[in-house]
Every structure is written in C-alpha cells, then in structure tokens.
Structure 1
Amino acid sequence: MHELIIGTIIISLMHAIIPSHWLPILTISKTHHWSNFETIRVTFLLGLAHVLSTILIGAVLGIMAYGLQVQVPAFTSKLGPIILIILGIYFIYRHHTHHHFHVDDELIEGPIKKRQLILSLMMFMILSPCSEILAFFFKAGSESIQLFILIALIYSSITILGMLLWINMALHGLKKINWHPIEHYAGLITGITILITGLISFFTN
C-alpha cells in the first residue's frame, strides 16, 4: 500500500509540473487579456475537469480489479503490479516523445467568445486523462475502496493545486523559463516511478 501512495504522490507532482497542462492557458489568457483572477479560475475548472475524467476511468478500472480480486485473488494480486511494470517500461521508452496539450491557433488568436473558449479547453482536458496514474487506480481497486479513494484524493489535490501554483507563478514572470528540459525529465521520472512501484508491489504482495 505504501508504495502505491508514494508513487501516486510522485506521479501527481510530475503531472502538475508538466507545462503542457497549464502553459497554453497562460498564452490564451494573455492573448484574450484575461485578468489574473479569471486565469486562475479557468485553470481550476480545467484542472477539475481533467482529474474527474481520469478518476472516472480509474473507477471503471478499479471496479474491474475488485471483481477480478473476488473471483481470482491470486491472479489479480500479481496482475496490478505487472501492469505497473509494463507501463513503467513503456513510459521510460517513450519519454522522449511527449504527449503535449495541443491548442489550435484559432483558440489562441482567433475571435471567439470566452464561454466557447473555456468549453473548448475543458473538452481538451477531459479527452486527455492522465494515463500514467490509471494503473494505480486498478491496483488500488483490487485492494480496497479506502485505498482507491485515498489515491484519488492525493492525485486530484496535488494536480489541481500544482496547476494553480504554477499558473500563478507564471503570471508573475515564470514563463520566461525554458520548460522543455523539465517536461522531458518529468516524463522519465514518471516512468521510473511507475516501474519501481510495480516491482516493489510485485515482490511484496
């Protein structure tokens, strides 16, 4: 259990740091002359939409894992860690090919109503859930509902608070930093964390 909690914290921190989750919001806010308060409010709404879509998918996986645990407990106890190990290797392999949060030029520069713009951004976030954390939900679901809820709370709170923190700092000049190396190594650290969590869970369960 402890390895899942620690892994979730690290993954969530890396997830919040990735600029592709909040840097487009900053660009759009500057282009459309939003106030700082409006930018932070939109960031919160987008972060909330993002984590809710991820948790919803995670809940489906958690229910599947719980069902398997009831039917074939010996198999499920090893399936979760194996999935983590495979995903860890996969994310390490593809860490150099980032999954960017793409925003169309029309959204950034074109004439568009604020409500339509915000809804478009929310759809982007809803349709790009955090795939790195999903295996954690599967493993947590196979153990207990309490652990699943704890993982969901840790992930959602760190992700949303992290996005708000970074967007607030960016509004005060942090945008000048070269974020590409940070995003690159955040993906690598994420993959290593998932792999280590899977290995520990496999050999301790």
Structure 2
Amino acid sequence: MFSLLVGIVALGLVHALIPNHWLPLVAVAKAEGWSKKEITKVAFLSALAHVSGTVLLGIVLGNVGQTLARRYDDYVHIIAPVLLIVFGLIYFTINLPHHHHSKQEDVSAYKRSKRRWILIFVVMMFLSPCLEVESLFLSAGAYGMNHVFAMAVAYAIVSISGIVALVLLAFQGVKLMNAHFFEHHEKRLTGGILIGVGILSFFIH
C-alpha cells in the first residue's frame, strides 16, 4: 500500500506540471484582466473539479478492486502488481503528442463573462479525469476502501495545491521552462512510475 501512495503522489505532481491543466486558464485570466484573487478562486474550483472527476471514477474502480481481492487470493500479491506493470508499459510505449497551449492564442476573441469562463473550466476539468492514476485506485481497492479514500485525499492535496501554485506562478510572469518537457514526456513519466510501483508492490505491501 505504501508503494501505491508514493505512486499516486508522484503522478499527482507530474500531472499538475502539464501545461494543459493550467496554461489556458492563465491565458484567459490575462486576456480578461482578472485579479490575482479572481484567478486563484477559478484555479481552485477547476482543480477541485478535476480531482472530483478523477476520485469518483477511482472510487468505482476501488470497489472493483476490493471485489476482485475477495474472489482471488492472489490479487493483492500477483495480479494487481502485474496489472500496474502492464498499464505502465502501455503508457510508456504510447507517448502521444500533445497540443501546445500558448499564451499567444487569441483568447480575447472569445469574450465571455467571468461566470461563463468559470463554468467552462470547471466542466472541462471535471470531464477530463486523470485516467493514469485510476489503475492505482483499482489496486488500492484490494486493501479496502479506507485505503482508497486515503489515496484520494493524498491525490487531491497534491493536485489541487500543485495546479493552483502553477497558475499563480505563471500569472505573475514566472517562466516555467521545464513545463513543456513534462507535456512531451507525460506518458513515459507516467509509465515509468506505474512500472516502478508495480515492481515495488511485489515486495512492499
């Protein structure tokens, strides 16, 4: 279980660094002339929506994992780690290209009220859960739903604080030079983490 917790924290950090989680919001905020307080609130709501969508799906998969663990004695020690390694290999080998979100995009051409922008970002983030962490929730279900909820809390803290912090840094003009590195190598980083967690799960429970 310790390895799963480490894995979900690591994935939460990696995914918070991906520009498409926060750069469009910064671009809109600057085009619309929002204050630091306003963008902080919207960033928090957007991150909360993203985490909520991820966690809701994770709880469902956690229940599936719990059911599998009850039916198959080897699920915790063999099947779950193997599944993590398989998912990791899949992500590692399909490092798909990402769309680049640039602050130069003409967001000013899409003038909307702040309330509409908030709705757009919240709905968009809720409907795009972090699918990469769901395999960890599936594995955590083998240890019981209390562990699933503990992982959900850890993921929420890391993701929300990470996204809000990056939004504020970018909004204040801090150039995040390595952000595009994470965007380009997101799948490989995710795959590497899942493979590592899967291997550790054979030895640490």
Distance between the aligned counterparts of 2:46 and 2:203, measured in 1?
A: 38
Residue 138 of structure 2: aligned partner? 138
> Is the CA contact 1:10–1:193 (under 8 Å) kept in the aligned structure 2?
yes
Q: 1:160 to 1:82 in 2, by over 3 A?
A: same
Could you tell me which runs of 5 or more consecutive residues in structure 2 were left unpaired when the two chains were aligned: none
Distance between the aligned counterparts of 2:90 and 2:100, measured in 1?
A: 17
Count of paired positions: 203
> Is the CA contact 2:31–2:107 (under 8 Å) kept in the aligned structure 1?
no
Tell me the amino acid that sits aligned with residue 133 of structure 2: I
Distance between the aligned counterparts of 2:33 and 2:99, measured in 1?
A: 28
Q: TM-score, normalised by structure 1?
A: 0.89
Q: 1:143 to 1:178 in 2, by over 3 A?
A: closer
C-alpha deviation, 1:203, in angstroms: 5.3
Could you tell me which runs of 5 or more consecutive residues in structure 1 were left unpaired when the two chains were aligned: none
Distance between the aligned counterparts of 1:84 and 1:93, measured in 2?
A: 14
1:149 aligns with 2:170: no
> Is the CA contact 2:68–2:142 (under 8 Å) kept in the aligned structure 1?
yes
Listed as ranges, the matches of 1:28-107 within 5 Å are: 28-75=28-75, 77-98=77-98
> Is the CA contact 1:17–1:186 (under 8 Å) kept in the aligned structure 2?
no
* Deviation per residue, 1:38-81 (Å, 9 max, x gap): 11100000000000110000000001111121222324643322
> Is the CA contact 1:21–1:101 (under 8 Å) kept in the aligned structure 2?
no
Distance between the aligned counterparts of 1:68 and 1:100, measured in 2?
A: 40
1:161 aligns with 2:126: no
Distance between the aligned counterparts of 1:108 and 1:138, measured in 2?
A: 42
Query: In percent, how many aligned pairs have the same letter?
Result: 33
Q: TM-score, normalised by structure 2?
A: 0.89
Q: 1:108 to 1:45 in 2, by over 3 A?
A: farther
> Is the CA contact 2:66–2:141 (under 8 Å) kept in the aligned structure 1?
yes
Q: 1:176 to 1:57 in 2, by over 3 A?
A: closer
- The residue matched to 1:73 in structure 2 has which SS? coil
Distance between the aligned counterparts of 2:169 and 2:184, measured in 1?
A: 20
Distance between the aligned counterparts of 2:111 and 2:121, measured in 1?
A: 15
Distance between the aligned counterparts of 1:52 and 1:138, measured in 2?
A: 16
- The residue matched to 1:112 in structure 2 has which SS? coil
Following TM superposition, the consecutive aligned residue runs of length 4 or more in structure 1 with deviations greater than 6 angstroms are 99-102
> Is the CA contact 1:84–1:195 (under 8 Å) kept in the aligned structure 2?
yes
* Deviation per residue, 1:104-130 (Å, 9 max, x gap): x79653132221221111111111100
Q: 1:137 to 1:29 in 2, by over 3 A?
A: same
How large is the RMSD of aligned CA atoms in angstroms?
2.3
> Is the CA contact 2:11–2:190 (under 8 Å) kept in the aligned structure 1?
yes
Distance between the aligned counterparts of 1:44 and 1:109, measured in 2?
A: 25
Distance between the aligned counterparts of 2:77 and 2:99, measured in 1?
A: 30
